Chain A
């Protein structure tokens, strides 16, 4: 019987280190670790695993992930098959797995997915506590998304989160009269108005775009102190703060390039790459698209493209959100220990830092020690995404992540409210009231 003991757990890391590139070794050296005793995991004899995860968004993500998986197989003998699923199809696939009790052993799903299937998942508290102890602790967002709400029991291991910072053309921003990207919403509005005046409008997604529309609309409402629900899950969206946010959003919308109401997730990337807009909200992938463009004209623009945190509103703190990949193990697996060992292995510095670095800042770490990874300093323009998991809020803010909050997000309640108010289809008051009605259908149901 294959055993994967505490000693071997440590040994696996050492073995993987030997496989790493010199660059990887240098990067790992920067990540501080504390002494911690890993949980004892006895891998089942003849174990094999099927893993489901979202398709890569940056090529290095998949390459490094596969290399880490291969190293795990070499170290333990556990065969692992990784299936990459299109982003939009991941949740339905996870749902089928949960409903049928068959399919992948490990699912690296979206932010709130583990909270939809809490009773079908294996508890991962021992792994999470060990990792937290070794790597400087978990960021609050990771704890929020990894633990079963209201308990200290971990049901998922957050692998990383992609941030929704501002991506902008520094030259045009300067031309509009701003030496740096504004840090507050008042200046931000002035900057957008200035950019529009010089013929370089901004563009933020208001269509049914899963990632970018939710990022922008939640940022906007939260920045003014609005939120969909409070801690007790009472629907609070129809508030003075929300209406202020919507009034501000309407003024901001006047500076947008036409068409944002129908934008899906790729639309702002296209518009930015084509020089149609001066600023948008996106993950670091957009900046990397400039840097790695085959078209020399676009690649040359990378020097002018920069990333910044979205401005802070009257609420007084950053209100970006993050799209987190959250790994879980289903109880139907025949090899729970192999699955736990696999997740633990992926999070150890020898593997994790290679993945983090290869992802070029697209995924930000949930464990604090990885803030020292070289990926955050190789290119200073990427550094802004380093604190994604530290500073971001979760989509159910201020309440718990639940199937109700997931349904409200999936039904675009926040996005529709902002879009309706911004475009003048509804008054801010009517839009907030409609959002309240829609949210109550879920929270009172």
Chain B
């Protein structure tokens, strides 16, 4: 005779303690979150906390330091090179971000149209992003070489519009602008591809409706594309600002902060003082001093763009 186990029968079988434990929701949540929390603690919280702690000590490489309160911050606050690096970082971030967004958006709009070899062009656009930063930096180091720059060669020997080589990195302003150009080249793909993804989420019917209403191309861009793209824009802008503000490899590989510190960013100065210079406390203080700027940029982006009421269907006040 076949036996069937009814729900009532199952109910009387006592569950093991392990089963009961895993049926307990708080425990299950804790177990599932543990790996993620563990990784965050090990790779984010601990290094960040250590950096904070070091910033308040006089730690040197190879020896433990003593708590010195705000001494490192007072010291860097009186250091004109630190303030030069702050100015450089803000200028670098602002100009590079504006250029990356302008060119990235333009590229995204182009790639969103029906153009031949679209996939190939998209792949090409991604190249600067997938090339390791140091390799990009080395390429630009050659491009900006005072003696052997391909640009100088082109201008001097091919077009004959110059008689001397371009000294890209030899003076403060040209060096700053040259580094920004390298950063823009490298950063455009991230902006362009992200915005392209955003553009492709916009319903075609919105454009059709706008066209039926007689909207011009500019009006369609202004009143359909931009608002619909704004959530993606805000996220991409936030990330772009963070990446640019903390840029290190491009600058360090191309100029190491020279000439005469005129291209030092806060990140490169923190490294120079902290690691080769051995002043871990001071290096950490410079790194920690970046945090207010980064928080401000993130909050500014978030409150300025992501939380705008019209994105939720309302109107801005």
Contact = CB atoms under 8 A, between A and B. Distances in A.
A136 to B, nearest CB: 33
Contacts of A262: 144, 146, 167-170, 175, 255, 258-259
A332 to B, nearest CB: 12
Contacts of A98: 61-62
Contacts of B79: 441
Nearest to A434: B80
A106 to B, nearest CB: 16
Contact of B147 (A208, A259, A261, A264): A259
A445 B260 contact: no
Interface string A417-445: 00110010100000000000010011001
A441 B62 contact: no
B210 interface: no
B254 to A, nearest CB: 9
Interface string A235-271: 0000000000000000000000111111110010011
A412 B75 CA distance: 18
B276 A410 contact: yes
- Interface size of A as a range: 35 or more
Nearest to A419: B260
B179 to A, nearest CB: 11
A95 to B, nearest CB: 4
Among the interface residues B81, B256, B257, which one has the most CB atoms of the partner chain A within 10 A?
B256
Contact of B170 (A120, A208, A261): A261
B170 A259 contact: yes
A95 B275 contact: yes
Contacts of A264: 141, 256
B171 A267 contact: no
Interface in B44-90: 58, 60-63, 75, 79, 81
Contact of A117 (B62, B141, B144, B275): B62
Given A95-B275, A403-B60, A419 B165 contact: no
Contact of A261 (B165, B259, B279): B259
Interface string A67-96: 000000000000000000000100110010
Interface residues of B, number: 36
Contacts of A209: 256
A270 B81 contact: no
A99 to B, nearest CB: 6
A407 B278 contact: yes
B75 A116 contact: no
Contacts of B62: 95, 98-99, 116-117, 120, 403
A126 interface: no
A208 B276 contact: no
Contact of B275 (A92, A416, A425): A92
Nearest to A416: B260
Among the interface residues A88, A95, A120, A206, which one has the most CB atoms of the partner chain B within 10 A?
A95
A379 B2 CA distance: 100
A406 interface: yes
B272 to A, nearest CB: 6
Interface in A265-319: 267, 270-271, 274, 276
B261 interface: yes
Nearest to B168: A262
B58 to A, nearest CB: 8
B73 to A, nearest CB: 14
Contacts of A438: 81
Nearest to B164: A258
Could you tell me the dominant secondary structure of chain A's interface residues? helix
A54 B3 CA distance: 77
Contacts of B165: 258-259
A187 interface: no
A207 interface: yes
Nearest to A92: B275
Nearest to A96: B61
A175 interface: no
B75 A441 contact: yes
B147 A276 contact: yes
A259 B146 contact: yes
A403 B278 contact: yes
Contact of A258 (B81, B146, B256, B279): B146
A209 B254 CA distance: 11
Contact of B255 (A117, A207, A270, A419): A207
Nearest to B71: A445
Given A207-B256, A257-B147, A262-B175, A406 B170 contact: no
Contact of A206 (B167, B259, B273): B259
A95 B278 contact: yes
B170 A258 contact: yes
Contacts of A270: 145, 147-148
B277 interface: yes
A403 B61 CA distance: 9
A186 interface: no
Nearest to A266: B141
Contact of A91 (B145, B261, B276): B276
Among the interface residues A258, A276, A419, A420, which one has the most CB atoms of the partner chain B within 10 A?
A258
Nearest to A95: B61
Contacts of B272: 410-411
13 contacts: A95-B61, A116-B61, A206-B259, A258-B164, A259-B147, A260-B146, A261-B259, A262-B168, A264-B256, A406-B277, A407-B273, A419-B260, A442-B279
Interface of A: 88, 91-92, 95, 98-99, 116-117, 119-120, 206-209, 257-264, 267, 270-271, 274, 276, 403, 406-407, 410-412, 416, 419-420, 423, 425, 438, 441-442, 445
| 8 A-B pairs with the lowest CB-CB distances in the bound complex, closest first | A259-B146, A262-B169, A208-B256, A410-B277, A208-B258, A410-B276, A98-B62, A95-B61
Given A257-B146, A262-B167, 7 more contacts: A207-B255, A207-B259, A258-B165, A262-B170, A263-B146, A274-B148, A445-B75
